Amino acid sequence: MQWETVIGLEVHVQLATRSKIFSGASTAFGAEPNSQACAVDLGLPGVLPVLNEQAVAMAVQFGLGIHAEIPEVSVFDRKNYFYPDLPKGYQTSQMYQPIVGPGEVEITLDEGATKRIRVHHAHLEEDAGKSLHEDFHGMTGIDLNRAGTPLLEIVSEPDMRSAKEAAAYLKAIHSIVTYLGISDGNMAEGSMRCDVNVSVRPAGQEAFGTRAEIKNVNSFRFVERAIEFEVERQIELIEDGGEVVQETRLFDPEADETRSMRTKEEANDYRYFPCPDLLPVVLDQAYVDHLRDTLPELPADKRARFENEFGLSAYDAGVLSASRAMAEYFERVKEVCGDAKQAANWVQGELSGALNREGLTIADSPVSADRLGELIVRVLDDTINGKAAKQVFQALWHGEGDSADAIIEAKGLKQVTDTGAIESMIDQVIEDSPVQVAQYRDAEPEKRGKMIGYFVGQVMKASRGTANPQQVNAMLKDKLDALC
């Protein structure tokens, strides 16, 4: 039987506010346990939450970024359950009236095709703390530094049909939130996590199958793998005459499988009700308009502009707009060198290669966009040839000089275009290669084209790479043909 996979994602994005969503404690990552938990975060008696305005602004920016409805009023609710790292015994969240209404996210698939994934809503909530099960001699340690960190939970419609689409969606969300600067998007530190709802149904069937929810998947790769495993598990289960049960599962990246955590019957009744300590959030139109007016250009718009304005291929435009840092770098290179295609080639080629080799992100690139742009200028104005340019890039990368020009100068890489100089090098090579010259002369004229490569190589070597290869080629051909 043909099966269709149906996937919906709940993505939790940690917002990059300086302080927590309901308290003044810092949100910085990696501090000593419980050093960033104030009385509010600890849930001490008598303390009250005060909403962080920055978290609201960031949520609204996200909503605007996915062209969502922004309701005038949103309300915080309490989600009640007991857990040691949930200090108040409830999580303050938004159940009934979220801050961001329906919107949509465009994803790009491998073939460059795009698809729209609908977002059901996004809501603000506070994160819980962390339970530490090691090093406490059979007891559990509680670190509440993370408690109260603002999260934006983005809930998609079940619009994805493959693990690849789910990963592309997650990447698109990642790209939007980092473009907006509302999250650092650092998945390793848990700044973005997602719960994946997966079900399968016979192709052509309208009704959804029973879904399983895979909790807390924290990388693009794990999302794909978790879905692939889960889809296979569900199909096998059904084909063997079994039934998928609605349950929560955990993905274990070590074992590369999902495991049952709790079934629907064991699920908590969260007893949601409006939080009486917080007033409804009322957004006036002017506030929303202001945020809309100051929104940065988002990935989809940027991609379209790169294609239309710069004439880049859909693929190049997609890669270069994938992250805000990448796009800003590329645009700066383009601005300095004036040639979008060259800029695109260099950023995706030499630069990305070097970054990947050393495991760096573009933000950490030792070669700034300005330096790279200046280097490209020297290629474009024929000061250096392509081979020398790669040498200059490597030198810049390793900090051997402050600018492309300084390195060209120091290394003597300036392209030789002086006909006299090239001519004397050619004459020398011809004189030193009597055998090859004889072979050339004896060859059929149509085979000579290939044989000229040897002489070009020798001349380039003699010039230590600085001769203009096209010029060398043309002059050699004239000289050799004159000898025939």
Beta bridge partners of residue 130, listed in sequence order: 143
Q: Can residue 398 be called a binding residue for another protein (CB under 8 A)?
A: no
Verify binding: residue 261, another protein, rule CB under 8 A: no
Residue 155, Cα to own-chain centre: how many angstroms?
A: 20
Give Dmax over CA atoms of the chain in angstroms: 100
Task: Please name the residues in contact with 253: beta carbons below 8 A apart, sequence gap of 6 or more.
Answer: 222, 225
Query: Shortest distance, CB of residue 377 to another protein, whole angstroms?
Result: 55
132 has which bridge partners?
A: 141
Number of residues that bind another protein (CB under 8 A): 29
User: Which of the ranges 77-85, 163-171, 192-200, 209-217 carries the binding residues for another protein, by CB under 8 A?
Assistant: 77-85
Please tell me whether residue 290 binds another protein under the rule CB under 8 A.
Answer: no
Give the residue from 302, 315, 301 showing the smallest Cα distance to 344.
Answer: 315
Residue 296 as a binder of another protein (CB under 8 A): the answer is no
Structure tokens at 249: 């599962």
98 interacts with another protein by CB under 8 A: no
Residue in 1, 2, 30, 46 binding another protein, rule: CB under 8 A: 46
The β-bridge relationship of strands 247-252 and 212-217 is parallel
Q: In terms of Cα–Cα distance, which of 243, 233, 151, 237 is closest to 195?
A: 151
122-161 footprint of another protein as x/- string (CB under 8 A)? ------------------x-x-------------------
**DSSP character for 77?**
E
Torsion of CA 319, 324, 325, 328, to 10 degrees: 90
Q: Could you say which of 235, 278, 295, 304 contacts another protein (CB under 8 A)?
A: 278
Show the DSSP H helices in 258-321 as ranges: 285-293, 299-310, 314-320
The C-alpha atoms of residue 177 and residue 196 are separated, in whole angstroms, by 19
User: Using CA atoms, how far apart are residues 261 and 396, in angstroms rounded to an integer?
Assistant: 52
Closest approach, Cβ 50 to another protein, in A, equals 6
Q: In terms of CB distance, is 115 or 262 closer to another protein? A: 262
Closer to another protein at the Cβ: 51 or 155? 51
Query: Which stretch in 65-73, 81-89, 295-303, 444-452 sits in contact with another protein by CB under 8 A?
Result: 81-89
Q: Is 441 in the site for another protein (CB under 8 A)?
A: no
Instruction: Give the one residue of 18, 28, 35, 50 binding another protein; rule: CB under 8 A.
Output: 50
Local structure of residue 72 (DSSP, 8 states): S
Q: Which stretch binds another protein (CB under 8 A): 79-87, 114-122, 439-447, 465-473?
A: 79-87
Q: How far is the CB of 80 from another protein (least distance, A)?
A: 5
Which helix (H) or strand (E) covers residue 131, if one does? strand 130-132
Amino acid 427 reads: D
Q: Which residue number, 28 or 44, has a Cβ lying nearer to another protein?
A: 44
Q: Which residues contact another protein (rule: CB under 8 A)?
A: 39, 42-51, 78, 80, 82, 84, 87-90, 140, 142, 269, 271-273, 276-279
